[in-house]
Amino acid sequence: ISVRDVICIIMASIVPTLAAIVGFSLMGFGLHMYNWVAVGRTEMWGNACGCVCIIWLSVLFIFDAQKAYTPIRAVLFSFLLALIIGTGVLKGVSYPWAPVLLVFATGPAALVILRKSVSLLVSRDQFYRVVGKSFGACAAILLLVWLVWTYTNEYTSKGTAWNPVVKDQLIEDSGDVYANVYSKRPLNYSVDCGAGQVVDPDPKVAGQISIACTKAETVWFVVWMVPFAAVLFNAVVAAFCMIESRFSFTQGKDITGL
Distance from C-alpha of 200 to C-alpha of 19, rounded to nearest angstrom: 40
Mean pLDDT for the stretch of residues 12-40 = 91
Q: Reply yes or no on whether the pLDDT at 46 is more than 60.
A: yes
Weakest mean pLDDT among 46-55, 106-115, 212-221, 249-258: 249-258
Instruction: Judge residue 116's burial from the number of C-beta atoms within 10 Å of its C-beta, 0-12 exposed, 13-18 middle, 19 or more buried.
Output: exposed
Helices 3-24 and 124-152 pack at an angle, to 10 degrees, of 30
pLDDT of residue 248: 55
**Dihedral (CA of 184, 188, 191, 192) sign:** positive
Note the pLDDT tens digit of each residue in 175-188.
Answer: 899 998 888 889 88
pLDDT of residue 257: 44
Helix (H, G, I), strand (E, B) or coil at 250: strand
Distance from C-alpha of 208 to C-alpha of 206, rounded to nearest angstrom: 5
pLDDT of residue 249: 54
**DSSP per-residue string spanning 152-181:** H--SSTTTTSSSHHHHHHHHHHTHHHHHHS
- Give percent of the chain with pLDDT exceeding 90: 38
Distance from C-alpha of 198 to C-alpha of 203, rounded to nearest angstrom: 12
**Dihedral (CA of 130, 132, 135, 137) sign:** negative
Helix (H, G, I), strand (E, B) or coil at 41: coil
Give backbone dihedrals phi and psi of 255, rounded to 5 degrees, phi first: -120, 120
pLDDT of residue 4: 85
pLDDT of residue 155: 82
CA nearest to 202, candidates 223, 220, 175, 184: 184
pLDDT bin (cut points 50, 70, 90) of residue 237 is very high
- What mean pLDDT value characterizes the chain? 86
CA distances from 198 to 85, 87, 195 (A): 37, 34, 9
Q: Reply yes or no on whether the pLDDT at 142 is more than 90.
A: yes
